[in-house]
Homo-oligomer: A and B are copies of this chain.
Amino acid sequence: MALITHKKNLFYAQLTRHLFFHNHLSSTELSELTGKSIPVTTQGLNELIKKGKVFESGFAESTGGRKPLLYSLTEGSLLIVSVAMDQLITKIALINEKNEIVGEIEKHNLKLADNPSSIAELIKILKNFVSRINKPDKVVGIGIGMPGFVDSLKGVNYSFLQTENGTLVEALENELHLPVFIENDSSLIALAELRWGAAYGRKNVMVINIGWGVGLGIISKGELFKGHDGFAGEFSHISLFDNQKLCSCGKYGCLETETSLVVIAQKAIKKMTEGELTVLKNLSENRIEEGARKILKAAKEGDKFSIEVISESAYHIGRGISILIHLLNPELVIISGIGSLAGKVWIAPVQIAINEHCIPKMAEHTEIKISKLGEEAALIGAAALVMEHFEEININLKKIEKVLIN
Contacts and interface: CB of A to CB of B under 8 A. Distances in A.
Interface string A215-232: 010101100011111111
Contact of A230 (B226, B232, B328, B329): B329
Interface string A233-257: 1110111001000000101000000
A125 interface: no
B229 A220 contact: no
B234 A362 contact: yes
A365 interface: yes
A228 B219 CA distance: 11
A60 interface: no
A237 B326 contact: yes
B364 A239 contact: no
Contacts of A232: 327-329
A103 B347 CA distance: 57
Nearest to A250: B359
A395 interface: no
A194 to B, nearest CB: 15
A319 B227 contact: no
B329 A238 contact: no
Interface string A353-393: 00011010110111000000000000000000000000000
Contact of A327 (B229, B233, B319, B329): B233
A324 interface: yes
B365 A326 contact: no
Contacts of A237: 326, 359
Contacts of A200: none
A282 to B, nearest CB: 36
A329 B227 contact: yes
Contact of A228 (B216, B229, B235, B331): B331
A158 interface: yes
Contacts of A229: 329, 364-365
A149 interface: yes
A167 B323 CA distance: 29
A53 interface: no
Nearest to A332: B228
A326 B240 CA distance: 12
B328 A251 contact: no
Contact of A359 (B226, B234, B323): B234
Contact of A329 (B220, B234, B356): B234
A351 interface: no
Given A204-B228, A227-B329, A238-B323, 10 more contacts: A149-B362, A158-B361, A203-B228, A204-B227, A228-B365, A228-B366, A230-B329, A234-B327, A234-B362, A237-B326
Interface of A: 149, 158, 203-204, 216, 218, 220-221, 225-235, 237-239, 242, 249, 251, 319, 322-324, 326-331, 356-357, 359, 361-362, 364-366
25 contacts: A149-B362, A203-B228, A204-B228, A216-B327, A225-B328, A226-B329, A228-B329, A228-B330, A229-B329, A229-B365, A231-B329, A233-B329, A234-B326, A234-B327, A234-B329, A234-B359, A234-B362, A235-B326, A238-B322, A239-B357, A242-B242, A251-B356, A251-B359, A327-B327, A327-B328
